[in-house]
Structure 1
């Protein structure tokens, strides 16, 4: 009897195991079909198999055998069939995948990539074709797994990361980036880490996200080796990308999290905030440095000196300098130059000279920047004699002048109208081998123009060209336009012809201004020649130039050419105005071509809505001055009224004059 019980128990136990195994095989089969894109098994087949499994499962698993007085008792227990969710975050490690070749097994994709990275010196360029069917299974989690396996080999980790981005065209997520950043920083590959960090910061700047780079970097420290320097690089990366405000926020987060930032990075941050004129935040950074134990250096104090100098409170600057000396930092040349420049900008020249003398006492020799700042300050106060004395004192101190120091004094002389002194300095400058720059030429020419000495300005430019000094195009533009405004279009034309031989390429506005000026002096031939030249250069005439040319042609009695030029103007999408209308009609009236004048009057009214009463009166006056004008005047008035012209008192006057001549 006992043996029979044991046999029955063994049979039921084997049935239970078989049912569980079959259920796992079935679920694995379904998962494999979906993973390999084969679709799901047929519904009838699944239904039949499920029903049979349900019966065998109840028979095998819901029975517990108890041997008690020869009776079998059943106790139901809850052992449901395990269902694999398709939406699970973790991939299904299906045992049936292992029946596939390694290059088709999704479970092996990480192993295959790691093996290729380890064994192939040429990289992963050939691997893509070998595991083509597995590429869709390479997700963010698999990328992280590969990176973590190569924590000690930053070169291969970076090679794999670039392969994923470039060859596969996948975009790693922020965590993938941060894992690689930690690996690179741990391996002291700081340039590569900075490039990658800037790329990540840029992606966050383009697409706003819930998390920021700092949070993802911190969370990634749980999975890999890391170096705290990466958080210092995070602040520096924002500054390198020009995101100063974001860099300041990153600095606060890094400090609040207990990490340190180097004094060099703090200096970069202070400098960026200073350029944005965020003086309050500069002071906040300095206070945080003190609380966090970040020791400032001389460069830090120089930046902060500049910060305080931008403030109007000079006493605050002096207090800061005293504190700087108490902490053991002696002001250096940069500190003194910052202060001297600030005092000179604010007109506090006595304080600037006091610092200038203190510098010598403390063994800090003033340099070119110091002297240039003082000279500029003296020039602002119009103390030209003292400025020139300081200028020469530089040479006695063994400091050579540069183009900036010369420009400072030349500009001041030109501003005061002292053109002889400025020219003398310019000649001295050239004699010392210092080439005048764009600013030098510009201020000297503008100085001569303000004094009304245009010819002297032109001669100076010609003289500079003999010395081989290049004159900027904008200086020539200014000279030509100034000559035109001064009523010297022919001098401007001669200058233009001379510099054209040197390869001068002027702006269209300059040529238009010159043509307009030539037309004002009825030099229509020269103006048309210039027009033909710039048309060959594909330059476009503006409205003012067309109007000047048309009016000048009409004054010269060349009305058909003027009308033709107006048609060219219309082709350039420019519309005529009443001034052009009046010029053409006056021209034809002078030729006594009343029909053409009336035709143009109607054309301008119909096509452009120009009802110029002055032009209408010109036609009426011209007709009334001729003989036998009564019928013509009456008919003209009727036709013009139908077009919409309204006669005024002057029209009536001309009509009466014309009719009175007929009566007389």
Structure 2
């Protein structure tokens, strides 16, 4: 049977040279019950009275810890005894290790002492202390407690700059305490639990190098963590080691590796690995087929996906909800929403209850194809089945209606859903209001906004700004002014965009004095005007032939805000030149030059036109009556 060279290289990777050949062992290791391997002995301590000798602390502490009837009383008595002897300050990491080793046969007392020293006394325990208690708990089959201590040790290691080598310390402690090699499996799992994927992989390498054989469950956890981090190459390395040491993978192992192959995107590798699974005696299950079908759907190879769907039935594997959801989503995105609907109905007829993901996939497909009636009908069916639409549902429906230029229908749907108590996301309200304003339907947007006044929806100032701008743009100036007054009464300060929209509309309506009053409110709010406001006001007064007010505003903007706009200057200059009063023109030009305005070519043209007008006026005045 043909093999893909790429996958073949992966499967053989490190089978020959990943690690040297070793004798593998999973046997529980026992050492004599002794505390001599870890000692804090200091010859000078022997000069002290026996009751104050720190070397005797183990013999003082151990009997107290055996008072199991009342652990709280025992710890209080222990604390008092050490204080009375004046040696509590000598309770350091080496002493703690010796005490723990003396309690190997009593893991509850060992753990009680460990937590008391760490939490109640606030002592900074060493990595060795942690590893000894972990060994004691694992030896005694107290795996959940051991995992908690191990996770705490790893967390402490992450919080410091120089991370300790937990594996090395665990291995060192095996010289002095009873231990079970499963502790290294637990270290891999704890590292994965803490998100330390690379560290867990390093532990695996060290384990195999020393001859320890991890369980298949542990390896599957490691493979899963590596695959989620897109470390596909390391997954194949681990698989190669499994083959070399004779550790047989299970269906879960192959499914994880199949997921890695699918992520790589090479279809030939997928087929080759599927054949590899079958040769190893594993029949692909529904999880395997779901991964394969999902891989084909993501690549829009829908014919291959549906082929596998039919193969599942032939092999006696019944497609589940995930299978149908993947296919429905794939065909919906691929443009064949009718076949996606057919699959949906087949799923329902076979007794499977669609979930929100299945409904959303088909609704999205209907919306994409403009089949809004079908989408809305499916929405009602979903609600009737007791499934509440989520944010994805709302967004797909609104966007679908907008593509069909039926935004009002989207608005009606949202109002309907809101009436039935379904929580509509605030950003969707924002989207609809802005979209209505862009379509020059500010009253529809205003109606929606006012209808939401009693709800929890709190629009941002930008939404009001967009609505007021739209009202002004559509020549509903009075309504815009009422809305601005409403904002002010609610202690909301209009932004620059609102001021610009209102001032521009007022000037276009030849209400320049009102616009100037509005400019005063702008100053009171602390918002600085820009060039556009300057042009609107100056040009408005120029259209009203109010030269004095235009001239005053031009000077005001220049001196107050540093706005020296040549467009405004030329417009005022043009109006003045048209009067033919050359002395007044020269006076204006001189005063503007002092502020910082400089005439340009257009200014010269206006001057020439003004001189011609003045000459024409003068000739008319010289003609006899």
When normalised by structure 2's length, the TM-score is 0.83
Does the 8 Å contact 2:541/2:547 carry over to 1?
A: yes
For residues 383-422 of structure 1, what are the structure 2 equivalents within 5 Å? 383-422=336-375
Q: Does 1:284 align with 2:237?
A: yes
Q: Does 1:98 align with 2:49?
A: yes
The match for 1:479 among 411, 424, 432 is 432
Describe the superposition over 1:565-605 as per-residue Cα deviations: whole angstroms up to 9, x where unpaired: 33245x3xx64331122234345556777566545434544
Tell me how far 1:186 sits from its aligned partner: 1.4
Does the 8 Å contact 2:41/2:55 carry over to 1?
A: no
For residues 260-271 of structure 1, what are the structure 2 equivalents within 5 Å? 260-271=213-224
> Which sits farther off after the overlay, 648-657 or 450-459?
648-657
Q: Does 1:638 align with 2:590?
A: yes
For residues 276-355 of structure 1, what are the structure 2 equivalents within 5 Å? 276-355=229-308
Q: Does 1:649 align with 2:605?
A: no
Change (3 A) 1:426 1:210: closer
d(CA) in 2 for partners of 1:607, 1:190:
76
Gap runs ≥5 in structure 2: 1-38, 618-625
Change (3 A) 1:140 1:425: same
The match for 2:463 among 510, 535, 544 is 510
The match for 2:159 among 199, 202, 206 is 206
Higher relative contact order (CA 8 A, sep 6+): 2
Aligned to 1:565: 521
Does the 8 Å contact 1:231/1:254 carry over to 2?
A: yes
Change (3 A) 1:585 1:297: same
Gap runs ≥5 in structure 1: 1-87
Tell me how far 1:529 sits from its aligned partner: 5.0
The match for 1:452 among 400, 405, 408 is 405
For residues 217-228 of structure 1, what are the structure 2 equivalents within 5 Å? 217-228=170-181
d(CA) in 1 for partners of 2:589, 2:42:
94
The 3-state SS of whatever aligns with 1:645 is coil
Change (3 A) 1:156 1:487: same
The 3-state SS of whatever aligns with 2:49 is helix
Aligned alpha-carbon RMSD (Å): 3.0
Does the 8 Å contact 1:553/1:562 carry over to 2?
A: no
Tell me how far 1:501 sits from its aligned partner: 2.4
Change (3 A) 1:186 1:383: same
Aligned to 2:396: 443
Aligned to 2:119: 166
When normalised by structure 1's length, the TM-score is 0.78
Change (3 A) 1:159 1:618: farther
Aligned to 1:150: 103
Tell me how far 1:291 sits from its aligned partner: 2.2
Change (3 A) 1:554 1:174: farther
Tell me how far 1:492 sits from its aligned partner: 0.6
The 3-state SS of whatever aligns with 1:364 is coil
Change (3 A) 1:618 1:286: same
> Which sits farther off after the overlay, 220-229 or 365-374?
365-374
Aligned to 1:42: none
Does the 8 Å contact 1:550/1:565 carry over to 2?
A: no
> Which sits farther off after the overlay, 142-151 or 554-563?
554-563
Does the 8 Å contact 1:106/1:134 carry over to 2?
A: yes
The 3-state SS of whatever aligns with 2:48 is helix
Tell me how far 1:231 sits from its aligned partner: 0.3
Tell me how far 1:532 sits from its aligned partner: 6.0
d(CA) in 2 for partners of 1:194, 1:475:
45
Q: Does 1:234 align with 2:187?
A: yes
Q: Does 1:247 align with 2:247?
A: no
Tell me how far 1:292 sits from its aligned partner: 2.7
For residues 15-164 of structure 1, what are the structure 2 equivalents within 5 Å? 91-98=42-49, 102=51, 106-119=54-67, 121-122=71-72, 124=75, 128=79, 131=82, 134-164=87-117
Describe the superposition over 1:159-181 as per-residue Cα deviations: whole angstroms up to 9, x where unpaired: 22222332333221211111111
Aligned to 2:441: 488
Matched residue pairs, number?
A: 570
Change (3 A) 1:385 1:619: same
